[in-house]
Amino acid sequence: MNRPSSIQPSSESTPSRTRPRSLITYCLERDTLLFSLKMALVVGMLLAVINHGQALLTGHFTPGELFSVCLSYCVPFTVSMYSQVQGKRQRDLSPTESHVPSEQREFETAQHEQLE
């Protein structure tokens, strides 16, 4: 099968993959990075306000606290990235072709039959 050179192969997983992709490959996927950044911004902001809000509001924020504020953003980013990579690796390594649980497929089939 000939492919035009302008079409890039899909990054979607295939069930026939024999060797799992590297962790870095999963981490550098655009959707994984964007979701992790969004999660870090939201959760990091909450953690920063909870842990350092008083110092920020009263003006007693010291440069020594800057490291712990940075950690307030790095930890949620890391946890989000790790959980997404593990989920994607598990999905790619699973032997089944469909990633939808059988109970959900049966439920959707029953709903579809009722509508007809």
- What angle separates helix 30-58 from helix 66-93, to the nearest 10 degrees? 160
Q: How many domains does the chain have?
A: 1
Q: How far apart are CA 39 and CA 78, in angstroms?
A: 10
pTM across the whole model: 0.62
Establish if 98 belongs to a structural domain.
no
Establish if 42 belongs to a structural domain.
yes
Identify the domain containing residue 73 by its residue range. 28-90
Q: What is the pLDDT of residues 20-77, one digit of tens each?
A: 688 889 999 999 999 999 999 999 999 999 999 999 889 888 888 899 999 999 999 9
